[in-house]
Amino acid sequence: MNTITILWLRQLKKYFRSKSRIIGSMGQPLLFLIALGFGFGPIYQKAGGGNYIDFLAPGIIAMSILFTAIFSGIEVIWDKQFGFLKETLVAPVSRYEIVLGRTLGGATVALFQGAIVFLISMLIGFSPNLVLLPFAIVFALLISLFFTALGTAIASMLDDMQGFQLIMNFLVMPVFFLSGALFPLTGLPSAIYSITLFDPLSYGVDGLRGTLGAVTQFGLLTDFTILGVMTVIALGIGSYLFSKIQV
């Protein structure tokens, strides 16, 4: 097996071995789906928005992918501190292969996490359009690749886990709340709406909502193009910064 496959499988094995991690990561999405879905559902329906669970579920799926993907970068710092990364980097393989394998592994784990939330959301009343499910998987994959690469890029510049967590919390929450995951972007003040246009997750959430619920703000082609380009850029930056790590 080549380096990319080995690192990809290593990420998957670590994920599936940790049952507590799988179960624990379901807490926040489940809380959002139940508390917000049933709490604001009647208000949303009275306002003429329809079934709020159908609107909310794609955003919570994207949220689950976002958190899992971007926090996978902390494993880079962990491996720095415990010496595994040094052993990997001194091996006679390209660093770009190493970062690609790690990124694909983290993205696959995030994709599994999103799939679990998708199934849970169906159990509590989400009625997706399964005809376009393959296209929804493409958008979920792009979200996971983008934020895994972003997490890797940031972790490559840090040596402190606490610093990484502070930066991530400062970054992740605005990205999530300004993406339209919890509320429609239509009708927002122009200044806030302009900010949402620079949020990569906005296009991921809109893509999932368009494929699973046939409701889109920007159009699926626009979502795919912008998110695809930003993912390629993030992968390039993440690979470059990872290649500059000193051992």
- The alpha carbon dihedral of 114, 116, 117, 122 has a sign of positive
Element (H, E) at 36: none
- Residues of the domain holding 174: 3-243
Distance (Å, rounded) from C-alpha 147 to C-alpha 162?
19
Tokens standing for 168? 């991530």
Q: Computed over its alpha carbons, how large is the radius of gyration of the chain?
A: 18
| Virtual torsion, Cα 226, 130, 141, 1, nearest 10 deg | -140
pLDDT tens digit string along 97-150? Answer: 777 888 888 888 889 899 999 999 999 888 888 889 999 999 999 999 999 999
DSSP-derived letter for residue 235 is H
Entry pTM:
0.89
Which residues does 68 contact at the CB level (< 8 Å), separation at least 6? 25, 106, 109, 110, 113, 114, 144
Q: In the chain, how many domains are there?
A: 1
**Residue 32 one-letter amino acid:** F
How far does the chain reach from its first CA to its final CA, in angstroms?
A: 25
Distance (Å, rounded) from C-alpha 196 to C-alpha 206?
12
Average pLDDT per 10 consecutive residues for the chain, totaling 247 residues: 68 65 74 84 76 90 90 77 66 73 86 91 89 93 93 82 77 90 87 91 94 88 95 89 73
pLDDT at position 24, please?
Answer: 66
